[in-house]
Structure 1
Amino acid sequence: MAHYLLRLRPPRASFPEDASGAEMEAMGAHGAYWHRLAEGGPALAVGPVADPAGIWGMALVDVEDEGHAQALADADPIIAAGLGFAYEVMPVPSLILNRGAAPAGDER
């Protein structure tokens, strides 16, 4: 297995402050898609990144190869919606995982 970072770029730097109704609807489907992939699937971590240059989304996935990572990006409903969102798929050649840590907010 290999790790990849999927970086989701929004259609403009001002997103999500000025998101349209169609964009917010597509974001709901996007969130549901990644929740499913995080529940025992290939997604290790998913969420927004508060970059000072503009927010963007990230997913860290554990898959067979880059083709599988790209297929996950391509299958995201936010891409199918055709609203200007785009993914970059980047390999993560080395990763240290804390498999025993509870996510923030988890009361384990």
Structure 2
Amino acid sequence: MSGLFLFRLIPPRADFAQTMTDIEQHTMHLHNTYWQQLLADGRVVVYGPVADPEGVWGLGVLRAADRAEALAIAEADPSITAALNTFELLEIIDGVTG
């Protein structure tokens, strides 16, 4: 049985979505490709940027056997391995999906 985990991608600055450098854009392209594959593999329920008035951040809902597996998925995100972004990972207790 798998659980659900909330992945919050935290950008390096509040205006990151509007001010990315070419290198940051490339890294975020790799990040998006990574999450597209997770979605195709059935590991992700939903993902995408959140229009927070305080600054855009990324959301992903992961399916994983346990926190260790979810953490491994999060840590392998190219924007994390490149030390561009940071993240928070929280378990969704008794999550229900359609």
TM over 0.5: yes
**Greater fraction of residues in helix:** 2
Post-superposition offset of 1:17: 0.6
Post-superposition offset of 1:53: 1.1
Where does the alignment leave 5 or more consecutive residues of structure 2 unmatched? none
Cross-structure match for 1:66? 67
Q: Aligned with 1:12: secondary structure?
A: coil
Distance in 1 (CA, whole Å) between partners of 2:70 and 2:41 is: 16
Aligned residues: 97
Whichever of the two has the greater Rg, that structure is 1
Post-superposition offset of 1:95: 2.0
Distance in 2 (CA, whole Å) between partners of 1:41 and 1:26 is: 23
Q: State the one-letter code of the partner of 2:15.
A: S
Q: Under a length normalisation based on structure 2, what TM-score does the superposition of the two structures give? A: 0.94
Give the % identical residues: 36
Query: Alpha-carbon deviations, 1:28-80, whole Å to 9, x = none?
Result: 00000000000033111110111111110011011011111111110001111
1:91 aligns with 2:96: no
Cross-structure match for 2:55? 54
Aligned pairs for 1:9-48 (under 5 A) are 9-48=10-49
Output the aligned Cα RMSD: 0.9
Q: State the one-letter code of the partner of 1:96.
A: V
Distance in 2 (CA, whole Å) between partners of 1:62 and 1:86 is: 20
Post-superposition offset of 1:82: 2.0
